[in-house]
Structure 1
Amino acid sequence: MIIDEQWIYCPVCSNKTRIKVRYNAELKNFPLFCPKCKQENLIDAKGFQIIVIKEPDAKTQSR
């Protein structure tokens, strides 16, 4: 049996979000919101591999 789709879990609190992704779906710069911890993270997803995109803080950016 091949798993065709699965839930995306929050990278902060590891709870299930409201987003389900299929194996052949690709997400780029997707804003994933967690209803439990109320945080939003940017993710990339391809083939059930979830990568959290780290953004630099506005305070630490140099001009």
Structure 2
Amino acid sequence: MEKTTFQKGDIVFKTDDLKKVNPIKISSVKPENGENVCRGCHANAKGKMVYTKYRESELIAAK
């Protein structure tokens, strides 16, 4: 597995979330089709926690 930018427990945002209002907590990072895929959870509009897969290139780190 390649060196990853993100690790389990990191807080990140999607690159298209310009106002940074929907934080995502990384739960796992695995290689898939030559790219690292991060599985993370975020709250949806109803406040429920939802787990979704994200490509590492879609995410930016929270500062």
TM-score by length of 2: 0.35
Normalized per residue, the structure richer in helix is: 2
TM-score by length of 1: 0.35
